[in-house]
Amino acid sequence: MGYVVTVKAPGKVILYGEHAVVYGEPALAMAVNKYVYVTAKVRDDSKIGINAMDLKLAGLSVTILENGDIVARTDYGAVISALSYVKRALEIAMEYVGKRVGVDLLIRSEMPVGAGLGTSAAVAVATILAYVKALGYDIDKRELARLAWQVEKDVQGAASPTDTTMATFGGLIYIKPEGNSVIMEPVKPGTEIPLVIGYTPRVSTTKELVAMVRRKLESMRDVIEPIIKTIGVITRRGREALEKGDLELMGTLMNINHGLLDSLGVSTRQLNEMVYAARSAGALGSKLTGAGGGGCMIALSDKVDVERAIELIGGSVLSARLDSEGARVIDDKSLPTLK
């Protein structure tokens, strides 16, 4: 049939509030203009072909057969864990449209996998949207976010809706846990937010780091609980500074937030070196973003000197700005919408 659709979905950073959000404090997330791209081309059979050259799995070619079996050919053997999100996203997308139609997928990413930038969520969102659109159907963004969140829950066992919400809607979102639910409020920035993202390979998983912080809280509640509460205060002040366009205050709050996260033990020497190199080169503020244990840091700056400083100590650099649109079709060569 040959319908072809390309979509993109943004990654995200956490400006303030990681880890504390686990304990009911707010967090502030920002979608950034670094994307996962998924191109879907409808086949004339029921097979699924996947080419994912940019997902840190060089040379990986995968076919998913109609019975769900995966056939993988790669330089590293059957390394398919990063594609679990793609497989589940396709299954959920097929359930949504009510039919199984084969597609060839080309997946490209401007972000490293497992760095805390929400890449897996962007993959899930983009895969569902590309499949649905390639078959000629429409999907509401709320439904897209819900289905992509289901992908993350199915693959991970448990997942926050934050990453899939950011990848779907874009923008800035203030996250407030309330009981068993999460309230997400859009935030309007008072000015442009220039960011430099520095990346170093992770040495600990999110699950390990969250468990470590929990152990510290349980054994030293009188010490750790005030740190978590203060991170919550910083997040609320950070939102106010963001809405007023006060970049200097935002930077100061980032610096304090990082110091508190480091005191919890979730930073690393490499992350700290990037954080302090960015400040020395003129960044208004800098901090780790995400769970820590390696991964990414952010610096509030648009200075080339900051990028170079991070690179000089071995970090990989991405410059980023706000993405306010979220997931969208960027190239649609499909036939008119199916009824």
User: What's the CATH number where 250 sits?
Assistant: 3.30.70.890
Residue 309 reports pLDDT greater than 50: yes
Domain count of the fold of the chain:
2
The CATH number of residue 123's host domain is: 3.30.230.10
Least confident of 22-36, 158-172, 226-240, 263-277: 158-172
Q: pLDDT tier at 85 (50, 70, 90 boundaries)?
A: confident
Are 160 and 35 found together in one domain? yes
Q: What percent of the chain has pLDDT over 70?
A: 89
Domain assignment of residue 249, yes or no: yes
Which of 187, 222, 243 lies at the terminal end of a domain, its last residue?
Answer: 187
Which of 144, 169, 187 lies at the terminal end of a domain, its last residue?
Answer: 187
Domain assignment of residue 339, yes or no: no
CA distances from residue 134 to 178, 281, 333 in whole angstroms, order as listed: 38, 46, 8
Which of 154, 187, 220 lies at the terminal end of a domain, its last residue?
Answer: 187
Residue 74: the pLDDT is 47
Segments forming the whole domain that contains residue 115: 4-187
Q: Is 163 assigned a catalytic role?
A: yes
Task: Kindly report the number of other CB atoms within 10 A of residue 176's CB atom.
Answer: 18
What is the tens place of the pLDDT at every residue in 37-70?
999 999 988 888 888 766 654 444 556 777 776 6
Are 167 and 315 found together in one domain? no
What is the tens place of the pLDDT at every residue in 214-270?
999 999 999 999 999 999 999 999 999 999 999 999 999 999 999 999 999 999 999
CA distances from residue 90 to 35, 37, 64, 137 in whole angstroms, order as listed: 19, 15, 10, 14
Residue 339 reports pLDDT greater than 60: no
DSSP H helices in the chain = 84-97, 119-134, 141-156, 162-169, 206-219, 221-244, 247-264, 269-280, 304-312
Domain assignment of residue 215, yes or no: yes
> Which of the residues 75, 140, 163, 262 is marked catalytic?
163
Residue 115 reports pLDDT greater than 90: no
Contact status, residue 6 vs residue 127, Cβ threshold 8 Å:
no
pTM comes to: 0.86
Q: How confident is the prediction for the chain on average, in pLDDT?
A: 88
CA dihedral 289, 92, 35, 240 (to 10 degrees): -40
